[in-house]
Amino acid sequence: MSAEALDFGAPGLRGTVFSVANDRKGNAYLNDSRTPSVWVNLDWVDGTPSCVVDTAVSTVEGGVAAPTVVITLLSRFGVAYEATCAITATPFTSTNIAAACGAGFTALPNTPVGGLDALEHRHDHHRDHHRG
């Protein structure tokens, strides 16, 4: 599990904590402290890897047009994936996370614990049945 708080920003955002965790089944989840009991399954975001074994989260703020949360997921195949999601006045939920994360997760090249050859093992998470 990883967590990061916003240090700056609008009064409604300052102090907001974003936490990312994975379960034993390899699913990854995001919690936005503005909705403390809600953990959003990151499968809603395009490109989410299967079999997540580790997570990291950071925020980018100050000197940028809008703050963002950067989520990094490590798959069991050793490839790290990263998504950058726009932080707005609305907390992250299953209905807005995909739009907030734009292009979704992309593999980071030259991940030291794995190679891009492991991408062939990646499970495609374009799950139309979740969206309709």
Report which of 66, 20, 14 is spatially closest to residue 45, judged by C-alpha positions: 20
Q: What is the mean pLDDT of the chain?
A: 85
**Which tokens in the block code for residue 90?**
């609305």
Q: What are phi and psi of 70, to 5 degrees?
A: -110, 120
pTM over 0.85: no
**Which tokens in the block code for residue 128?**
């139309």
Model pLDDT, residue 112: 72
Q: 91 pLDDT exceeds 80?
A: yes
Interval 27-77: pLDDT, tens? 999 999 999 999 999 999 999 999 999 999 999 987 667 889 999 999 998
Give the domain ranges of the chain: 2-122
Q: 128 pLDDT exceeds 70?
A: no
